[in-house]
Amino acid sequence: MRILIIEDEQELLCDLAKGLTWKGYAVDQAETGMKGYQMAMDETYDLIILDLNLPGMDGLEILERLKEEKPQTKVLILSANHHLETKLAGFQLGASDYLTKPFHFEELEARIRVLLNRRFVQSPSHLTYQDISMDTFSRCVTVKGENVFFTAKETAILEYFLLNQGRLITQQEIIDHVWNGDSDPFSNSVRVHLSAMRKKLKNVLGYDPIQTKIGEGYRLR
């Protein structure tokens, strides 16, 4: 899942990006409001973490404009501003969540997980499909009750399939949601990660749970 962080405190921005990347998210960073708004408009993000007090363009203004253009975008406000009026204004403009600074990384991560899994009728900590189960907290995957090791990229791809069960997923979509903007994955590299992941699943399941529709995309059977 791909996340954009808009935050002007360099150190915090860097720590957040590192922590979330470590947790398996594809992370892009913007240190000014204008840049963040531009990136949010140009790219597809599963979630935007938005500071409010930003140079150039204020967070609430970004939120308002963004919600007009891309109403589906999920935004979590992360701000030192703890005033009720500001929080309510944020929710009124369409924020999905509001966390005040200082905060614990674990809490932020827990809220992100809930937000990204909310549209599914599953527990926010586990994604399952038949014999496949992923703990979105520890990023561990079990297949038929057996722990199977997946690399970070393979785990992120599998997570995207589990979150989009039954839907046809294109290769471009996988790139958009699993890779961040800094990397420029060749379509081949997506195929390599995808096929390694499928092989591991197949080894345990005895069949490949992912169906290829040539020229169209992939789908969990």
Contacting residues toward Ca ion, per CB under 5 A? 8, 51, 53
Q: How far is the CB of 192 from Ca ion (least distance, A)?
A: 39
Report which residue type is found at 176.
Answer: D
Q: How far is the CB of 32 from Ca ion (least distance, A)?
A: 10
In angstroms, the CA 3 to CA 20 distance is 9
Residue number with CB closer to Ca ion (57 or 220):
57
CB of 90 to Ca ion, least distance (A): 14
**Residue 73 or 81 having the CB closest to Ca ion:** 81
178, containing H or E segment: helix 171-178
Nearest distance in Å: CB 149, Ca ion: 39
Closest to Ca ion by CB, 46 vs 51, is 51
Query: Cβ atoms within 10 A of the Cβ of 19, count?
Result: 15
Closest CA to 158 of 106, 122, 109, 195: 195
Q: By C-beta, is 53 or 92 nearer to Ca ion?
A: 53
**Strand-strand pairing, 47-50 and 2-6:** parallel
Calpha distance 31→26 (Å, rounded): 17
